[in-house]
């Protein structure tokens, strides 16, 4: 099945919530100086029939670009803006000046507060502001009658887990519980999901001798790995990682465990990397992302939660040439900045030839990264890594106005 047709089938925007097309989205990161403008990227997204897109900020111009497209957006509060929106007045000003004007033309469904705040390089500074910012933004939305339309959450990586295998033994780092437990209460109270950035690639790259490649690539022919405590068999590492988070939530607060849903806010596989980045190849990236699509297309849940279909945002739409870190960080995209596929996507083990070339997209005018992001690096944890994105306070003048 050709790449564009496969994505079109899975990502049609008008599909009901329970259908596979409503369960798969894509991350639209913009840390690059050769990426097309949003208006041009929308041409590619429209050709794919993308129904869900995750952004890492809430830039007003970008939000306006998505107006009347029918695309459901996940917007974001950048890390450096957490303190500014962690007070009722700051959150209210931001929601009223940035989010409310975009609605309802732009379909904003979720707002993420920071990205991997609890495990990032600035966690000690940012963590105290995380829950207050989430609560204040939710309250600001509620004051406008928007809290049922727009939910508030935060994205975490698997670094929040002290252990993830076997899934039934997973639990959160004890030093994070004072922050995570109230966040879990918030999710249960507001109905917002717990977002998990899950990357089997990092588990494989860290221990290629101990982790089977087929298991990490989600290959359907793999026999699976049993959980000796629960008796459940895990056919691939991605669902194992999701269930590990479910078990950690239950271990932290069993009272809210059934009420909190886990969603995969990022997952992907790099198509290239440095010499020591084992497994970062176009073939493996094609196999992994094709298998993610297969999993979502099946509409199934995880072994622990079979009744709830897996919901995933793939990382990412484009390769981003200004992301810091090893080469793999700049090679997660399904597409090059000119709109051509990075590789022929594999699906069910068969390479999918591209039948009709997509239009080449012209890059936007070069733009420097914000000083707050330049040179920023984070380290990998098992099966996870922070993906820094273009981070602006949407707009920066808003934060200046607060002070």
Q: Do residues 229 and 237 make contact, with C-beta atoms less than 8 angstroms apart?
A: no
Residue 329 known to be catalytic: no
Contacts 24+ apart (CB under 8 A), 209-212: 211/237
Q: Which two tokens stand for residue 343?
A: 């590789």
Question: Which stretch of DSSP H or E encloses residue 397?
Answer: helix 396-402
How far is Cα 283 from Cα 298, in angstroms, rounded to an integer? 23
Residue 72 known to be catalytic: no
Residues 72, 80, 116, 329: which is the catalytic one? 116
Secondary structure (DSSP) of 29-91: ----SSPPPHHHHHHHHHHHT--EEE-SS--HHHHHHTTTS--EEEEEE-GGGTGGGSSHHHH
Block residue for tokens 């239950």: 250
Helix 177-190 and helix 123-143, axial crossing angle in degrees, nearest 10? 20
Residues 266, 298, 320, 329: which is the catalytic one? 266
- Most distant CA pair in the chain: distance in Å? 58
Closest CA to 111 of 30, 178, 190: 190
How far is Cα 175 from Cα 151, in angstroms, rounded to an integer? 27
Q: Do residues 12 and 338 make contact, with C-beta atoms less than 8 angstroms apart?
A: no
How far is Cα 106 from Cα 228, in angstroms, rounded to an integer? 47
How far is Cα 11 from Cα 47, in angstroms, rounded to an integer? 10
What is the pairing mode between strands 225-226 and 233-234?
antiparallel
Q: Which two tokens stand for residue 379?
A: 């380290």
Catalytic residues: 116, 266
């Amino acid at each position: 099945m050709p790449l564009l047709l496969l994505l079109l089938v899975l990502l049609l925007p008008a599909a009901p919530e329970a259908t596979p097309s409503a369960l798969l989205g894509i991350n639209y990161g913009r840390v690059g100086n050769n990426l097309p403008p949003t208006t041009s990227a929308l041409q590619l997204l429209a050709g794919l029939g993308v129904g869900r897109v995750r952004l890492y900020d809430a830039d007003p111009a970008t939000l306006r670009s998505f107006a009347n497209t029918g695309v459901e957006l996940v917007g974001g509060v950048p890390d450096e803006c957490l303190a500014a929106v962690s007070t009722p007045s700051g959150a209210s000003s931001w929601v009223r000046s940035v989010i409310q004007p975009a609605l309802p033309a732009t379909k904003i469904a979720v707002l993420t507060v920071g990205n991997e705040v609890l495990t990032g390089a600035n966690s000690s500074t940012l963590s105290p502001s995380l829950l207050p910012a989430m609560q204040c933004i939710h309250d600001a939305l509620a004051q406008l009658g928007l809290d049922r339309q727009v939910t508030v959450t935060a994205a975490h990586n698997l670094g929040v887990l002290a252990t993830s295998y076997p899934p039934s033994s997973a639990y959160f780092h004890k030093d994070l519980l004072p922050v995570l437990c109230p966040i879990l209460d918030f999710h249960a109270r507001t109905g917002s999901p717990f977002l998990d950035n899950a990357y089997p690639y990092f588990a494989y790259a860290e221990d290629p001798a101990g982790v089977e490649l087929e298991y990490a690539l989600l290959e359907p022919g793999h026999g699976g790995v049993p959980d000796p405590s629960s008796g459940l068999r895990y056919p691939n590492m991605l669902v194992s990682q999701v269930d590990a988070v479910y078990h950690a939530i239950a271990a932290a607060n069993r009272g809210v465990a059934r009420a909190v849903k886990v969603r995969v806010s990022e997952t992907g596989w790099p198509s290239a990397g440095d010499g020591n980045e084992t497994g970062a190849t176009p073939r493996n990236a094609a196999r992994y992302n094709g298998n993610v699509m297969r999993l979502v297309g099946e509409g199934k849940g995880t072994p622990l939660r079979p009744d709830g279909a897996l919901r995933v945002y793939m990382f990412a739409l484009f390769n981003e040439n200004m992301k810091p870190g090893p080469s793999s960080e700049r090679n997660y995209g399904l597409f090059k900045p000119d709109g051509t596929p990075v590789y022929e996507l594999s699906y069910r083990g068969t390479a999918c030839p591209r039948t009709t070339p997509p239009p080449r997209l012209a890059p936007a005018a070069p733009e420097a990264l914000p000083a707050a992001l330049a040179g920023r690096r984070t380290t990998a944890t098992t099966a996870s890594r922070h993906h820094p994105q273009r981070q602006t306070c949407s707009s920066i003048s808003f934060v200046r106005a607060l002070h």
